[in-house]
Structure 1
């Protein structure tokens, strides 16, 4: 029997790819054949091909809110991308397109609309990105991670689902994590995450804090490419990695407290794993402010402590650690009660309801 087909699309950052990959095992289990449309050179190409999924690269222009001479040429790339996407969709004839955001999705959802193929989109953040704003009129349904995001979309289109979480993060082994980090005792473990490139400000303040906390905690510091400082090996129980991939599930399982930026995918993984956390969202000078809103929502719900990146100090990180430790049971109780942990089943349900 011929399988149903679904086209996944999204790109520009790992955050636009991870939820798509999280859905792949479940989509395959219920009988979908999967292919992916992304940009020709974006990060999504490597991630998707590594997962063994058929990949198509199309022309895509960046959509900017600021002046740039490329604003005059990129619309032509988008038009070419629509033509590319039309050819692919006519060839693959999917039952539905699932769009995760990023500039590459715009030509894909427009092409799907032209061909009468249903589109379900997903917005991770409280405020939609520019690409999702442009794509919305061409979508049948918009899945949102946060209830606060509903106000940005028409009521008949929006569904609060949460975000799909990767199944593998629930399969961690704390003992394997302990072996990887070479910890020799059972002190509480702090995990610091700043993204694949690291976060300079967070790295600096954590390292200033090491003399005060290294005796009390074991510390796993994912500090970003090129940011390992070998001079700090003198601190027992402090281990640095540029980044980890397959082993991250084991480090998650081992960790008691997480200090991190506030990307939606990451913080919903912390919530799903019941990991109390300190969030240091990107400031408005470095972003459109979406991480700040994400973090504020988590703080309001009693899942997190939020610190201001512009006023970050080793002292306020230390105070936040003490507060988390003192009120750990309260944070854990709030997280366990949450109904928006893993949105995988919710998103799959919306896809099935809207497949033609």
Structure 2
């Protein structure tokens, strides 16, 4: 484990989506437990209100930098974003010079690309973590410059250089397991004997899922209670009086998230690896609705193939179908039990310790 004799500095970088932030916070939390003297600095995006709030909750300094997204198709935005990537590179270069980290750690996202590049020029080693079943362009751009690459799925080992890639699984925040059902009833004003569905709309792609949920609300709230995470700035024109107090909407949750999970009899979510890791490790029965034509479809397929979740195709999904799927599951306790047992087996355990061990090696501590 990280020793206490020497003060370490670790730079974390990610953002744009919570999925690239959560694993880094999980890692930092565990490292701090073992060595409270380690200094962290988080480089994220200017627009990341949610990521900034999450990082702040972990008492880690947050510094935004410019970032841009490179698309795999011809677009004028690629030329504009190249300017932002260059500006982010310049910012990263001088921030790294000042902070002098022992290692830079990223879990993907385009904001990390110029940080890893600048670190490589300044001879700062780095570790990048590949969460999704399909490698993203950001990690592909960073991989040649990374010291070590960790992956969640065995199939991902072939996507990166063999000599510096290892299978670890996906780390998650340990406080996510600290939820309490009784406390959740008080926080979310829930009835004791009515099933609870946790809808996690996410960020990207939340609008389509939110629309589907809203159209199903009138029927759903007749037989269950709903905690709905809509995503930031996803204004929903909903008259709460229509749902008898059984509908509770939030942009996002931070410290209350463990209790939301504890309250849920069923989770309905996208297929980002942050959420999938959490529900897997907690054994939460789930309906997964991946964003169409995205890497999420491959993530969801892995869970579906193991009979670990119900996979629904958004292209064919209607409010009526969603209502019936939820009703069928809530009325089938045996099915819920099977899903819970199977989903709990999908994610590899011990990910946190393995990634910290690699950080330890990179920092030169044997």
Fold similarity call, TM over 0.5? yes
Q: Is the 8 Å Cα contact of residues 227 and 242 (structure 1) preserved in structure 2?
A: no
Q: Which residue of 2 aligns with 1:351?
A: 359
- Closer, same or farther in 2 for the Cα pair 1:64/1:2, shift >3 Å? same
Deviations 1:127-169 (A, max 9, x none): 1221111110001211112223222112222222222211221
1:332 paired residue number: 340
In structure 2, which of residues 222, 226, 236 is the aligned counterpart of residue 227 of structure 1?
236
**Residues in 2 aligned to 1:294 and 1:171: alpha-carbon distance in whole angstroms:** 26
Using the alignment, how far apart are the partners of 2:105 and 2:259 within structure 1? 30
Q: Which residue of 2 aligns with 1:37?
A: 43
Give the Cα–Cα distance (whole angstroms) in 2 for the partners of residues 78 and 72 of structure 1.
Answer: 10
State the match for 2:267 in structure 1: 258
Confirm or deny: 8 A CA contact 2:303 2:343 kept in the other structure. Answer: no
What's the offset of the Cα at 1:209? 4.0
1:98-137 paired onto structure 2 within 5 Å: 98-137=105-144
SS across alignment from 2:127? strand
Tell me, in whole angstroms, the C-alpha distance in 2 between the residues paired with 1:230 and 1:136: 48
- State the TM-score, normalized to the length of structure 1: 0.88
Q: Is the 8 A contact 1:165 1:342 kept in 2?
A: no
Worse-superposed segment, 312-321 or 102-111: 312-321
Contact 1:262 1:294 (8 Å CA) reproduced: yes
Per-residue displacement from partner, 1:285-312 (whole Å, max 9, x unpaired)?
Answer: xxxx111111111111222110001111
1:18 and 2:26 aligned: no
2:315 paired residue among 300, 310, 314: 310
**Aligned residues: CA RMSD:** 2.6
Aligned partners of 1:56, 1:311: CA distance in 2, in Å? 42
Matches for 1:198-213 after TM superposition, within 5 Å: 199-210=206-217, 212-213=219-220
Separation in 2 of the partners of 1:323 and 1:55?
42
Equivalent residue, structure 1, for 2:298: 293
Quick check: 1:228–1:242 contact (8 Å CA) kept in 2?
no
Between the two proteins, the alignment pairs up a number of residues equal to 352
Q: Aligned partners of 2:46, 2:219: CA distance in 1, in Å?
A: 47
Change (3 A) 1:124 1:107: same
- Residue of structure 2 equivalent to 1:6: 10
Equivalent residues of 1:58, 1:81 under 8 A apart = yes
Determine if contact 2:205/2:291 at 8 Å carries over to the other structure. no
* Distance (whole Å) between structure 2 residues aligned to residue 41 and residue 223 of structure 1: 17
Aligned pair in 2 of structure 1 residues 130, 318: CA closer, same or farther (>3 Å)?
A: same
Q: What displacement does 1:339 show?
A: 5.0
Which TM-score applies when normalising by structure 2?
A: 0.86
CA separation of 1:201 and 1:63: change in aligned 2, threshold 3 A = closer
Deviates more, 1:217-226 or 1:29-38: 217-226
Please list the CA deviations of residues 303-331 of structure 1 after superposition, one character each: whole Å capped at 9, or x if unmatched: 21100011112333244331573412212
Confirm or deny that 1:52 pairs with 2:59.
Answer: yes
Alpha-carbon contact 1:78-1:107 (below 8 Å) kept: yes
Farther-moved stretch of structure 1 (133-142 vs 4-13): 4-13
SS in 1 for 2:129: strand
2-side partners of 1:218 and 1:193: how far apart? 14
- CA separation in 2, counterparts of 1:176 and 1:233? 26
